[in-house]
Amino acid sequence: MDIALPEDAACWRETARRFAQEELIPNEIEAEMNNGLIAPDKRAHHQRLALELGFSRMDVPKAHGGLELGMTGQVAVWEQLGRVTNGLCWCFCEPQQWMFEACTPDQLQRYVLPLMRGERHDCYAITEAEPGSQEVINTTATRCPGGYRVNGEKWYVTGANFADFMWLQARLDSGASALLLVDMDSPGLEIVRTPLFSHTFASHHPIYRLADVVVPDGNRVGSDGAGLHYMRSWFRHERMMIAARCCGAAARLIEEAHAFAQGRMLDGEPLSSKQAIQFMLADSVTELWAARLMTYEAASAHDQGADLKSLHGRCSMVKLYASEMANRVADRAVQIFGGRGYMRENVAERFFRELRVDRIWEGTSEIQRLIIAGHLNRRGLRDM
């Protein structure tokens, strides 16, 4: 099922695959049985190695010491990292190209470039209690001397327990959106609670309340009203990488389920000889192939500079299809493993829980369908 990639992307794919297979996957059971945690020296080793390999510099412009890797290369990396459970691949921060368009030189020096070097960690405070996946922001940023006074509540701030600052989206008095850099030690920023989720990750998703948090002018990203534009760039990137990770997860599930079915004997024959099992594996392989073709086509369109609105639609389509595909594959894998597939030590059981959220975060499947249908209504099938 190989897809022909440019030489540099193919090299990155192999680098990421070795990192996932040799460094991360052997620690999955330890993480699963210890609330997502592994030994601190192992986590530090993973972060150090990820930085050395250049993963944190993939989307950074060369002018700032980055690799300026194309979207195809980044997808190739995240597809392989997606083979790993328990969020172990989240061992590095990844500045995105839009940050270098949006941030001032001072913001780059204080916040973004330290991310690339592993000196700081960030999180995104976008979601709120009421609007869900809709682009409605109730958190307010009111002008005050020297900056903004922020009030509101943010839900599911992924990775906040490791972060020292957040990218926060708020609504200005004018009703426009603003993007602000908020330090985690800011007075008035407090954790409401840290919910437990189905997956077993060391990175948590707390709920935060902001009560008269003062953010200086120097921490406003871009002009007033530009926050939504930058967040859409973030959403496009994240939706692509979710699709990539889902493809990696599905590939590993198929490989593991197939290997088990070949070695499991039933009535003197391998389980893989049974038609019911063959159908489940055949459907899984076919859907994975389709998802990979979609994902890499969308990545190539990015690299070729396709129309931005077209890219936005493509990202929604690949996120929708790949995330739902991976969930179907995980369900079949659990069924093939039988009782073993319901054990937490089994990769199918972990992915069965972990992949479910990919149909929710960065825009639910239903939101993606609305985006896709909107593109069809406005542009027609040919121009999508």
Residue 286 placed within a domain: yes
Question: In a 3-state reduction of DSSP, which class is residue 172?
Answer: strand
8 Å CB contact between 62 and 110: no
Residue 384 placed within a domain: no
Task: Give first-to-last CA distance, the chain, whole Å.
Answer: 27
Residue 9 to residue 345: CA distance in whole angstroms: 32
Q: Which of 85, 116, 147 is the last residue of a domain?
A: 116
Looking up residue 84, the CATH number of its domain turns out to be 1.10.540.10
**Whether residue 234 sits in one domain with residue 372:** yes
Domain that holds residue 106: 7-116
What is the pLDDT at residue 108?
98
324-364 confidence digits (pLDDT tens): 999 999 999 999 999 999 999 999 999 999 999 999 999 99
Residue 1 placed within a domain: no
Residue 82 placed within a domain: yes
Q: Which of 87, 116, 145 is the last residue of a domain?
A: 116
Residue 62 placed within a domain: yes
Residue 357 placed within a domain: yes
Q: Which of 189, 221, 253 is the last residue of a domain?
A: 221
pTM of the model: 0.96
Residue 92 placed within a domain: yes
**Whether residue 140 sits in one domain with residue 74:** no
Give the length of the chain: 384
**Whether residue 355 sits in one domain with residue 235:** yes
| Among 270, 149, 272, 145, residue whose Cα is nearest residue 212 | 149
Per-residue model confidence as pLDDT tens for the chain (384 residues): 789 999 999 999 999 999 999 999 999 999 999 999 999 999 999 999 999 999 999 999 999 999 999 999 999 999 999 999 999 999 999 999 999 999 999 999 999 999 999 999 999 999 999 865 556 789 999 999 999 999 999 999 999 999 999 999 999 999 999 999 999 999 999 999 999 999 999 999 999 999 999 999 999 999 877 878 888 899 999 999 999 999 999 999 999 999 999 999 988 999 999 999 999 999 999 999 999 999 999 999 999 999 999 999 999 999 999 999 999 999 999 999 999 999 999 999 999 999 999 999 999 999 999 999 999 999 999 888
Residue 352 to residue 227: CA distance in whole angstroms: 35
250-298 confidence digits (pLDDT tens): 999 999 999 999 999 988 999 999 999 999 999 999 999 999 999 999 9
Secondary structure (H, E, C), 58-120: CCCCHHHCCCCCCHHHHHHHHHHHCCCCCCCCCCCCCCCHHHHHHCCHHHHHHHHHHHHCCCC
**Whether residue 267 sits in one domain with residue 161:** no
**Whether residue 243 sits in one domain with residue 266:** yes
**Whether residue 325 sits in one domain with residue 304:** yes
What are residue 25's phi and psi, to 5 degrees? -55, -40
**Whether residue 237 sits in one domain with residue 332:** yes
What is the pLDDT at residue 223?
86
Residue 107 placed within a domain: yes
Domain count, the chain: 3
Class of residue 196 by CB neighbours under 10 A (exposed 0-12, middle 13-18, buried 19+)? exposed
What is the pLDDT at residue 290?
98
What is the pLDDT at residue 132?
58
**Whether residue 90 sits in one domain with residue 23:** yes
> Can you read off the two tokens belonging to residue 198?
């189905």
Looking up residue 338, the CATH number of its domain turns out to be 1.20.140.10
**Whether residue 357 sits in one domain with residue 247:** yes
**Whether residue 318 sits in one domain with residue 352:** yes
Looking up residue 182, the CATH number of its domain turns out to be 2.40.110.10
8 Å CB contact between 73 and 85: no
**Whether residue 217 sits in one domain with residue 233:** no
**Whether residue 170 sits in one domain with residue 127:** yes
Facing residues of 167 across strands? 124, 181
Residue 205 to residue 153: CA distance in whole angstroms: 13
What is the pLDDT at residue 369?
97
What is the pLDDT at residue 135?
65
What is the pLDDT at residue 226?
80
